[in-house]
Structure 1
Amino acid sequence: MKQNNILLASLMLMTSMSAFAKVGDLQQEVKIKAVSQTADIKNNQIIFFGPVEVVQGSIKINADQLRAFSAEGENSKILVATGNPATYSQILDDGRPASASAKEIRYEMATRTLTLTGTATLDQAGSQVTGNLIRYNIIQQKLIAESTGNGDDRVITIIQPDNYQEELKNAPEDKPVKKQDSK
């Protein structure tokens, strides 16, 4: 019975993670494909070994490993996808694509916080933020990006011009729009 609760909790995590995705995505089933999985009932966690693919509507997560658990002594659910890199993609309500990649993608349900760590990138319709750590609070819609502070390692933000989306729509499928060089 408790193993079913763990699986249900991990599926609920995926549903809540999609709070800023297409409305229809929230009504779709969550499908997790993995090479294998283990359940640690005593510690209330499931680990999926990969490659792992999670799909819910337009939402897709790819990782080498996915861990769903509750923090000790708390009712807070946490989902951690790791890979080289782990990736997250979705289609927003307005039809624009959004994606993220990092060595670790962590979602904390209680605070609705998405944390990307290790060569982190967040991309929405061609505009992009990169850094060592990117933290995004979905409810407050606040983003914090940090670098390691070593040498040339910096947070980089690329903002596409207003007409970028129009160029994407009008570009022939065999000839993608080139991103402008930011140097």
Structure 2
Amino acid sequence: MNVPLSLVLLLALVPATALARTSDRNKPMDIDAGRSDYSMDDSRPTTLSGGVVITQGTLEIRANQAVIYSANGDPVRVVLTGNPVTLRQELDDGRQMDAVANKVDYDLKTEIVVFTGAVNIRQPTGSIAGERVVYNMKTGQVQGGGQDAGRVKIRILPKNAQGGG
């Protein structure tokens, strides 16, 4: 399994993919980790650890560990853990999107990203926070909950307070 090739799919972890800097997908991906452990087949996952930093264009992901599961040589699931995992990317309009969570679990087959543990996703249009946020990249559906007695917190900014547009 080619580790950098499989990690190209980590780009899809970013919420609001339709708004993310589309040119980033055509840029080289750089991965920096203290350690890597992988097999040449699908018998066990590839594990990167020791301060994982993944950059591609304006996208930056930081995690303590990244685990990539494969089937038939193709990545099917990526699990990032950290204290916290951080994702930052510039949107096509130049504004910034930031996300933090203790765990980010991306199923490449269903295109569903599950953020868990102290989740806070901030975009120019507002934010969502909770203990669990599920983002369906196919449908754009976002579900959240679990913070402060099981509640989700959403803030929608008025257009005149969003800045940059």
Above 0.5 in TM-score?
A: yes
- How much does 1:54 deviate? 0.4
1:15: how far off? Answer: 4.4
Q: Which residues of structure 2 form unaligned runs of 5+?
A: none
Q: CA deviation at 1:14?
A: 2.3
- Please state how far the C-alpha of 1:122 moved relative to its aligned partner: 1.3
Segments of 4+ moved more than 6 angstroms: none
For residue 17 of structure 1, report the CA deviation from its aligned partner: 4.2
* C-alpha distance 8-53 of structure 1, shift in aligned 2 (>3 A): closer
User: Structure 1 residues 66, 83: closer, same or farther in 2, change over 3 A?
Assistant: same
The 1:59/1:51 distance shift into structure 2, 3 A limit, reads same
Give 1 or 2 for the bigger CA radius of gyration: 1
Matched, 1:163 2:154: no
Code of the residue aligned with 2:154 in structure 1: it is T
Supply the RMSD in Å over aligned alpha carbons.
2.4
Q: What SS is found at the alignment partner of 1:14?
A: helix
Count of residue correspondences:
160
TM-score by length of 2: 0.85
* Alignment partners' CA distance in 2, 1:76 and 1:51: 21
Question: Taking structure 1 as the reference length, what is the TM-score of the superposition?
Answer: 0.77
- The SS at the match of 2:10 is helix
Distance 1:16 1:102, change over 3 A: closer
What residue in structure 2 maps to residue 67 of structure 1? 67
The CA deviation at 1:145 is: 0.4
| Aligned counterpart, 2:57 | 57
Can you give the 5+ residue segments of structure 1 that lack an aligned partner in the other structure? Answer: 170-183
1:162 deviation in Å?
Answer: 1.7
Q: CA deviation at 1:156?
A: 0.7
CA distance in 1 between partners of 2:95 and 2:50 (Å) = 29
1:10 and 2:9 matched? no
Instruction: Tell me, yes or no, if the aligned pair for 1:103 and 1:119 is still in contact at 8 Å.
Output: yes
Higher strand proportion? 2
Identity %: 28
Is the contact made by 1:62 and 1:87 (CA closer than 8 Å) also made in structure 2?
A: yes
